Amino acid sequence: MAQITSVSPSSPTFYVPVCAAVGGFAGLLVGTAQGNPLIGLIVGAVLLGATAYAAAHFVSQERIARWAILLIVALGGGFLGGLPGLIVGAGFGWFFGWFIYWLSESRYRMKLPPYLTAGQVLWHYGLRVICGLIFFFLITPIVVVMPLSFNAQDFFTFTPEMLRFDPAGYSLKHYEDFLTSSNWQHALRNSISIAPAATLLSVSFGTLAAIGLSSEHVPFRRTIMAILISPMIVPLIISAAGMFFFYSRIGLQGTYIGVVLAHAALGIPFVIITVTATLVGFDRSLTRAAANMGAGPIRTFFKVQMPLILPGVISGGLFAFITSFDEVVVVLFVGSAGQKTLPWQMFIGLREQISPTILAVATILVAISVLLLTTMELLRRRSERLRGMSPG
């Protein structure tokens, strides 16, 4: 597909109103923080629209113009909000400088096919803006928790010292409480002992089930698959109640083994789905060739099949681990005080005593989840390269 490397500059009737709209939105945010949203919207729209026109028409050096915009907006933010405003203003100024020239020089078309209409270009970037706003809406509650975990006070809100970036407003005492509290350490030990065991069972049973269900000769494959992945579909409270009554009859309610089995049942569907997706591109002639050369089923599985489906197995295992490590509803029904996990302890901290240590634990769990999800993404890309679905 042909791509162009240079395009003609945009008309001021296009980029000036767009920049004014972006400036109005930024001004609305600033004005709301200052108590005058309407004035902020108007001032922001006028200033950025005029800045865009002046920068594109009267300043020959783009680098100088961008640095000037960054400096002016940063100083304005510092005047309105002190050090935090200075930092936020610097971010806005960098974006405004880049955005003005990105529009005015038509750089937004440089990596797009030249035959796209204006409406198609608008949809191309509009879709990305919508996705970005959705992502921002979803991620904001998680991101807000992280700086709050460093609050020097026992509050769940930002203190004036934190908003001023005063070092006195920040502390690691909530992390220290997590590392020294017997209740939190007991819950951490339980989570560390339960999640790996449940993951091992999930990976073992889920992998075998996925390999078996991938065969076309298995009767009622769809029905069996639907039953096995039902824990993902059925509301968790229903699954927890069912496990409670079942485990009570067989003597597993309130035991370590009962919690491990319950979490394994929740993790098996993730393993089945990821391994099944990996098996889609598996060449079954490899297993037949191994059998023709005298390899038994077990040797064929570990020497031929497992290395190729290993990324899917590990991805499913990571999902199962996260599910077990973060789960709280089932363990409340099936477990006892001896199996109190980190999510359970966090639930108690919210219900019985408002402990800011929850914020520190939540930040640690978020960091672990991000690390595991990054690992899964790397494994997914490796799996695609092994199957020839993406360039190396």
Q: What is the pLDDT of residues 254-288, one digit of tens each?
A: 889 999 999 999 999 999 998 888 877 666 677 77
**353: phi then psi, degrees, rounded to nearest 5:** -145, 130
Q: What is the mean pLDDT of residues 248-257?
A: 89
- Among 63-72, 81-90, 121-130, which stretch is predicted with the lowest mean pLDDT? 81-90
Where does the pLDDT of residue 148 fall: very low under 50, low under 70, confident under 90, or very high at 90 and above?
confident
End-to-end CA distance of the chain: 20
Spatial distance between the Cα atoms of 151 and 175, rounded to a whole number of angstroms:
11
187-212 mean pLDDT:
91
> What is the third-level CATH fold of 181-386?
MetI-like fold (1.10.3720)
Instruction: State the pLDDT confidence band at 392, using cuts at 50, 70 and 90.
Output: very low
Q: Per-residue confidence at 383, pLDDT binned at 50, 70, 90?
A: low
Sign of CA dihedral 293, 294, 297, 300: negative
Token duo for residue 11: 């008309």
Structure tokens belonging to residue 256:
């370590």
Of 300, 305, 318, 301, the C-alpha closest to 379 is 318
Tell whether the torsion through CA atoms of 185, 190, 193 and 195 is positive or negative: negative
At 353 the pLDDT is: 66
Which amino acid is located at 43 in the chain? V
Query: What separation in angstroms does the CA of 112 have from each of 18, 104, 192, 333?
Result: 20, 16, 49, 55
Q: How much of the chain exceeds pLDDT 70, in percent?
A: 94
pLDDT digits 0-9 by tens, 297-349: 778 777 777 777 887 888 888 889 988 988 889 998 998 878 888 888 888 87
Are the C-beta atoms of 211 and 275 separated by less than 8 Å?
Answer: yes
How many Å apart are CA 294 and CA 231, to the nearest integer? 40
Give me the phi and psi of 3, to 5 degrees please. Answer: -135, 150
Residues 239-262 as b or e (16 or more Cβ within 10 Å = b): bbeebbeebeeeebbbbbebbbbb
Higher-scoring residue by pLDDT: 9, 370: 370
Residues linked to residue 136 through DSSP beta bridges, in sequence order: none
What pLDDT score does 381 carry?
77
376 contacts 273 by C-beta, under 8 angstroms: no
Highest mean pLDDT among 78-87, 173-182, 297-306, 379-388: 173-182
The CA distance from 364 to 367, in Å, is: 5
Q: What is the pTM of this model?
A: 0.71
> Can you spell out the DSSP letters for 313-346?
HHHHHHHHHHHHHH--HHHHHH--GGG--HHHHH
**197 to each of 43, 164, 228, 253, 261, how far by Cα in Å?**
59, 46, 19, 17, 9
At residue 388, the pLDDT reads 59
The pLDDT of residue 2 is 41
Task: Write down the domain spans for the chain.
Answer: 12-115, 181-386
